[in-house]
A and B are shown apart, each in its own frame.
Chain A
Amino acid sequence: MSLNVSAISSLFSSDSQADKVVPPTGFTATLTLFSAAAMSFLAVFALALSLATGRLAERWGAELARTSTIRISAPEGQLLAQTEAALRVLETTKGVLSARALTAEEQQALLEPWFGPDLPLEALPIPQLIEVIEEGDGFDAEGLRLRLSAEAPGAVVDDHTRWCRPLVRAATRLRMLGLFSILLIGLATAAMITLAANAALAANTQVISVLRLVGARDSYISSAFERRFTLRALSGAAVGVGLGCLAVFLLPSAQATGGFLTGLGFQGWHWLWPAIIPPLTALVAFAATRTAARRTLGNMR
């Protein structure tokens, strides 16, 4: 298969003569238009999914790498002492950039979504939280636990990785699924266009043999079909992508509740990604039609 530049550019230099000698290809053309549109519509969502999950995995992965929390639960009298002890330990721990105890207000703010703003924090035995910012590859959680158990027995190292890692894995997996869907969509599009092109070619064997008899080159005959199917696929895909983007754009935003669904969409220049779908579809159609045409032509002299 030679997908050279001149072959592709010849697609766009409309050769009305070559288009005329091949009769209208009827339902196969409509089929191509429709399947290209439908598949591109789906591809937009698969693309949005993999971009969003990619962003999610990245964000969670970054958080995972950078911060963790140490929680100190101790009888009221010891809380302050143990907190200071823990901070001292952290100062000398490799992989810790900085550590600081959260203020009462910050703790209150953290709890607010669950208990409301009027929580009498002082009256409750709330553990003290220490926010640890890591550097490099982070600290050795097991070693830290051991050292803390001596100095501040009430300290619990809350390893974010415990809950974050499966989420990152899930997001990464989803992203793979998204990319895999795009691949499947591409293959299905190629299959459908091949079927349509084969049907069109089979319906036109008589025409093709007459064209050969009067001295048409294979490239002339084949490009008449290529042009037709490529342009149909291109315009179908453009419509599908347009509708798909509109649908993504109109997805209700649920910024406040955050989470996964709000992320499904394109951000910034990522809106340009869907633009590659129509040319890619056209390329797939071009290759599929050319293969089908060359095969049909190979059977006649």
Chain B
Amino acid sequence: MIELENVGYSYGGGELLSDISLKLQSGSFHFLTGPSGAGKTTMLKLCYGALIPTAGHVRLFEADVRDLERDDVAMVRRRVGVVHQDCQFLDHLTVADNIALPLMVSGGDLLAESANLKELTNWVGLTNRANAYPPELSGGERQRAALARAVIMSPDVILADEPTGNVDWEMSQRLLRLLVELNRMGKTIMIATHDLALIRAAKAHVQARVLRISNRRLQLAGADL
């Protein structure tokens, strides 16, 4: 699905990630941790083709990102659902429309999917907020809407960046259950978080690998997690 091979990423400020190799197998569940500023978001961006590595190779569905045409990048985005750290909504559209946005832009049949959309909105507990606008939502509501948008296309892979960053424990458990449920349906999941309690809670439900970025490298986290 997604494969990183000796990937390095540098920007003007220096090298952020170096010599990272990782294979996201179909149906796997990964956590990505590390201190703030370690490069978690950057690594996720490498995984959905928003950034191009400065060293090594990133292969998305067998294709090297460097070889992807712009339309190919769009296709990759339809197969990878992303929950962005800052959510990224269109503020002039309702929550329901924002959730349906990937369908709209891919020319999907909204009418045919409307039942699916309702079910999904209900699944993330936003049924009574469907006609609100994103700026009116709480942090947790935004993150649930972002998760719903990430899964509407029924993608093979879901990459979630701090999906529980703004919510209380109860809500974070609920979001986690949603992600675990998706994993049981066969989706490949990677969650970037520094919420270690969340990781521990998840391990009770799912076989998850925990990766840590430390000193620009990717390591397997210790058994305490």
Contacts and interface: CB of A to CB of B under 8 A. Distances in A.
Interface of A: 17-18, 20-21, 23, 207, 209-218, 220, 297, 301
B174 interface: no
A214 B93 contact: no
Interface in B8-66: 49-52
B73 A214 contact: no
B92 A214 contact: no
Interface stretch (B104-112, B178-186, B201-209, B212-220): B104-112
Contact of A220 (B77, B84, B88, B105): B105
B74 A21 contact: no
Contacts of B196: none
Given A210-B88, A301-B73, A215 B50 contact: no
Contacts of A17: 104, 110
A21 B75 contact: no
Contacts, number: 62
5 contacts: A213-B50, A213-B84, A215-B77, A217-B70, A301-B52
B104 A210 contact: no
A207 B149 CA distance: 16
Interface of B: 49-52, 70-71, 73-75, 77-78, 82, 84, 88-90, 92-93, 97, 101-102, 104-107, 110, 149, 153
B93 A215 contact: no
A215 B104 contact: no
B75 A215 contact: yes
Contacts of B78: 215
Contact of A218 (B71, B82, B89, B107): B71
B89 A215 contact: no
B101 A301 contact: no
Given A210-B90, A301-B70, 9 more contacts: A20-B93, A20-B104, A21-B105, A211-B101, A212-B74, A213-B84, A217-B70, A218-B70, A218-B71
Interface centre among B52, B92, B105, B149 (most CB of A within 10 A): B105
Contacts of B84: 213
A216 B105 contact: yes
A218 B71 CA distance: 7
B137 to A, nearest CB: 16
Contacts of B49: 301
Residue from A23, A213, A218 having most chain B Cβ neighbours under 10 A: A213
A214 B101 contact: yes
B89 A301 contact: no
Contacts of B110: 17
A298 to B, nearest CB: 8
- 5 nearest A-B residue pairs (beta carbon): A215-B77, A216-B105, A215-B78, A23-B92, A214-B102
Nearest to B87: A210
Contact of B74 (A18, A23, A210, A217): A217
A15 B102 CA distance: 15
Given A21-B93, A301-B50, A215 B106 contact: yes
A214 B74 CA distance: 8
Contacts of A207: 90
A39 to B, nearest CB: 31
B96 to A, nearest CB: 12
A18 B175 CA distance: 31
Contacts of B149: 214
Contact of A213 (B70, B75, B77, B97): B77
A214 B106 CA distance: 9
Contact of B77 (A20, A23, A214, A218): A214
Contacts of A217: 70-71, 74, 105
A24 to B, nearest CB: 8
Contacts of A20: 93, 97, 104
A217 B71 CA distance: 6
B105 A215 contact: yes
Contacts of A214: 77, 101-102, 105, 149
A116 to B, nearest CB: 78
Contacts of B74: 212, 215-218
Nearest to B150: A214
Best-buried of A207, A209, A216 by chain B (most CB within 10 Å): A216
Nearest to B75: A215
Contacts of B104: 17-18, 20-21
